[in-house]
Structure 1
Amino acid sequence: MDGAVSDRQAGGNSTAGAPPPADPARQHSNPWPIVAITCIGAAMGQFDASVVQLALPDLAVVFQTRETLASWVALAYVLAFAAALPIFGRLCEMFGRKRLYLAGILIFVAASALCGMATSLPELIAFRILQGIGGASLGANSIVILNHAAGKERRARAMGYFSAAQAVGVSLGPIAGGLLLSAFGWQAIFWVTVPIGLIGAVAGWLILPNDTERDPRPFDWQGALLLGPSIVSLVLVLNHLADWGLASLPALGFGIGGIVLLALFIVREKRTASPLIDLGIFASKPFSLGVLAVLLAFALLYGMFYLMSYAAIRGLDEPPERAGLRLSAIPIALGIAAPFAGALVKRFGTATLALFGMALAAIALLTLSLVALEATPSRMIGMAALAVFGAGLGFFMAPNNSATMGAAPPAFAGEAGALINLARMLGVSLGVASSASMLHWRTEVIAGATNTDVYFYGHPMLGAVETSFGLLFILALIAAIATWWRRRLEPQT
């Protein structure tokens, strides 16, 4: 680990009055019920995210509005989650992780029910914001609770189960969502998470340990007022970059505004004795590289979802149900591979497994870009490549998440868990935004070269998707370099 230490580690005035941090190496005799509860929250949040994307066209019709406005049903959740996550990461240290985790589940459940009862688009968007706040409370706690319960020896295996639960949630979204939408209407996609959340809340109340450590330092409201709008502005730019264009007034306004607010936040955090996020955590280079790798892994996953949706529906002329089944090969393979990766960490090490996983993902991307989408005989190769891609991410995510948490000093466990989940959310936005921009550029290039309308079904769209895989390959290469660098800093992992 990097030799630099922060005031918190050195006992400086930034943590005056703070209690000794909980030892993340401490483990329960049987941590798996606790891990299972965190997995319920992880699966529920991922299911909700993927199933709502599928329902956006129906919502535009139901509420008689443009699809760009209906997309705010998805975007409102992302913005609320990302903005509230660092805040809950600090509040959990002040009021207890079990309490805030259970509150997050109950807020999520209540908001889901309200979404199912919404009678207008503004109501639905408002309830989705509330749902994002509940999801942020879950996200700020889940990894830290899991880490404390499993301890160092079983952390990688527990992270494997956690990644598998997220993959299960993502994969169930397109499959179950299509059935729910056709059988019961759009309200059902929100109601279905209510009983699952209630079960998770009851189980959490009975099983999660009571944490007694409290951080008495005051809450940094000034930092929160700077960081929240900064994150919202930057996520807005990422999500609308393909529509606005990089040089457009909204993109420049929100982008510059977000960067300025982030700079002011950094200045504030360096000066205050009670920071919202102690920036000393980034003195650990292995942790910083791990967070970057988390962001890139989720950018790869959701960039692939975006590109393959266009390839399946506009390029291969498949119905949405079949396209959903095709895409489910990725999270299903991820969910199968992640627990295996967690179990193999002791034998091969986190960095070795992560590099192996990213190599699989890169090979799958090259296969998809070269042969897998061209002709009917090669579509089975395409399905196999999607499964290999998902398995590669499974072998990458679980070891990388475990190593990243392990690289964070014990005093920074709260910040580490929140930052990993924030990187995940920013990675989702980066993956979709960069893939959308790349696909838009490639369709224009192919249209100009062939004089073909690329918005008709057929191979011009497939060509644009195939060349866009090059962007994802570059992201995979950067993630591999970050992992290799971390391996050099921490050869024992």
Structure 2
Amino acid sequence: MSTVRWLAASRLERPRPEVVRNHRLAGWFAVATVCFGAFMGQLDASITTLAFPAMQRQFDQPLAGVQWVSLAYLITLVGLLPASGRIADSTGRKSMYLAGSAVFTAASVACGFAPGLGWLIGFRVLQAVGAAMLQANSVALVVTSVPRTTMRTALGIQSAAQAVGLAAGPVIGGALVATLGWRWIFWIVLPFGVIGLVSGWLLLPRTRERTALQRFDLAGLVLLLFASTGLLLGVSGLSGLPMPPWLAVALLVGGLLLGAAFVRWEAAALDPLVRPALLRPRPVWMGLIGALCGYLVLFGPLTLLPQIFGTGGGLGLTLGCLPLGFGIAAVAVHRLLPARLSAGSRAVVGAALAAVAVAVLAAVVSDPFGSAALLFALGIGLGLFIPANNTTIMSAIPSRSAATGGGLVNLARGFGTALGVAAVTLCLHSGGGDRLALACLAVVSLIGVASAMAAGRNRSASG
């Protein structure tokens, strides 16, 4: 059976039970379901690196080898996000999300049983395939399940679930590694995965609007995979992955050239992974720049502060202030702003607050208490900015292409996460120290402010 025929056959999506479909909170049931996937993804992202020392002892491998447990996952995830979104827009977002949840959960359990490092890396690649199917559809399912007037609130709740997963990862991971062993950091995903799968089957709506897919863009997928691999490996080389400096630079240049080739191919392809018209509106491409900046500023301090304060017991509480502020802002603080304020304006306010918090943090970074307060303020700013920025992007994308748009948002998030780690590490390795790293984060925050202002200039997304 050809790829296209298989995709067509997979379009079957079961409707929700009538009692769910007709309930006044049906859309919010779907949002709550997606939050399980959002929580799982960020829990996994923040929990794995804590187990590196235990994995080194278990497999008798150096850190350079164990790093591939995270790197292989990130490379696979970023490379597959647009393709997963494009397929879901054609075959059905609910079915793709459920399949992704099943693959992610099964692969997580398999990771826990891995007999060797090679097996573990392979299972992590499979886990990333499931994560791409989940993440490419999470934003799309949120925005297509609730009215546009409540889109910003729904995206804020989803972002809060991500923040909870991010904050819970170090706490849960540290306890599991210290007591039950590193394998349990993967097995802990099982109950959340089962709950998410069952609730998704019952509570997620069927796909109402689709974008036809006549022929899958395999060449575009290959170009994107190689481009993202080159860029991420090059960035990782600059941030500590053992490799000669010339190789890191060569990988970055190769990734950029392949990225340019991907853009040219998509413009000429009959049925591209990402339709160029989708990126032409200013709110989309400027919003994606903002998304990259937002997650770079979010993950940068989480890499920097352990280098400044060490890994003492109080570090977890200090770092936890950032996702705590993020979650509170994403769910509640935005309600304190005037209701008539557009999503674009809210994004500007949040980005500006984040920029001020990072700038002040550079002056008091040696004080743990002051740093905790400023990390909380930074979390508030990012918790206002990121959901509002996502609303601006998704409001400019047709509903039939919602999963492709969601994939692009998460693609920007993935690169922002990688660059946040790399930028901080590069500043520290260059001898510039924490002040230079924070100055770089402040500049990126200002770019986020500028992108939010530009994205909201032509469109008011007041939902």
Instruction: Report the equivalent of 1:148.
Output: 144
Mapped contact 2:392–2:456 kept (Cα < 8 A): no
C-alpha distance in 2, partners of 1:189/1:247? 33
| Mapping for residues 190-229 of structure 1, pairs under 5 Å | 190-211=186-207, 213-214=209-210, 215-229=212-226
Which letter does structure 1 place at the counterpart of 2:325? A
- For structure 2, the 5+ residue unaligned runs are 1-21
| Mapping for residues 69-468 of structure 1, pairs under 5 Å | 69-211=65-207, 213-214=209-210, 215-243=212-240, 248-313=245-310, 318-319=311-312, 321-341=313-333, 343=335, 344=337, 346-373=339-366, 378-442=367-431, 464-468=433-437
Which letter does structure 2 place at the counterpart of 1:416? G
TM-score (norm 2): 0.90
| CA apart distance, 1:424 | 0.5
Which letter does structure 1 place at the counterpart of 2:350? G
| CA apart distance, 1:199 | 0.7
Q: What's the CA shift string for 1:254-308, capped at 9, x where partnerless? A: 2232222222222221112211110111210111111110110000011111101
| CA apart distance, 1:345 | 7.1
C-alpha distance in 2, partners of 1:372/1:258? 35
Which letter does structure 1 place at the counterpart of 2:379? G
C-alpha distance in 2, partners of 1:134/1:434? 28
| CA apart distance, 1:468 | 1.6
**1:219/1:199 Cα in 2 relative to 1: closer, same or farther (>3 Å)?**
same
Bigger mean CA offset, 99-108 vs 208-217: 208-217
C-alpha distance in 2, partners of 1:284/1:411? 16
State the superposition RMSD in angstroms. Answer: 2.0
C-alpha distance in 1, partners of 2:282/2:247? 34
C-alpha distance in 1, partners of 2:155/2:194? 23
Q: State the identity as a percent.
A: 36
| CA apart distance, 1:411 | 4.7
- For structure 1, the 5+ residue unaligned runs are 1-26, 446-463
| CA apart distance, 1:116 | 0.5
Residue 486 in structure 1 maps to residue 455 in structure 2: yes
Mapped contact 2:238–2:245 kept (Cα < 8 A): no
Q: What's the CA shift string for 1:101-122, capped at 9, x where partnerless? A: 0000000000100011012111
**1:307/1:28 Cα in 2 relative to 1: closer, same or farther (>3 Å)?**
farther
C-alpha distance in 2, partners of 1:298/1:71? 21
| CA apart distance, 1:324 | 2.0
Q: What's the CA shift string for 1:135-189, capped at 9, x where partnerless? A: 0000111100110001211100001101100000000001111111111010110
Which letter does structure 1 place at the counterpart of 2:177? L
In the comparison of the two structures, how many residue pairs are matched?
438
Mapped contact 1:160–1:341 kept (Cα < 8 A): no
Q: What's the CA shift string for 1:334-380, capped at 9, x where partnerless? A: 1111112554573322122222222222222122211241xxxx432
Mapped contact 1:118–1:124 kept (Cα < 8 A): yes
Mapped contact 1:73–1:124 kept (Cα < 8 A): yes
Instruction: Report the equivalent of 1:470.
Output: 439
Instruction: Report the equivalent of 2:9.
Output: none
| CA apart distance, 1:421 | 0.7
C-alpha distance in 2, partners of 1:254/1:243? 14
**1:145/1:250 Cα in 2 relative to 1: closer, same or farther (>3 Å)?**
same
C-alpha distance in 1, partners of 2:182/2:105? 17
Bigger mean CA offset, 169-178 vs 398-407: 398-407
Instruction: Report the equivalent of 2:18.
Output: none
Q: What's the CA shift string for 1:207-227, capped at 9, x where partnerless? A: 111225442422111211211
Report the structure number with the largest CA radius of gyration. Answer: 1
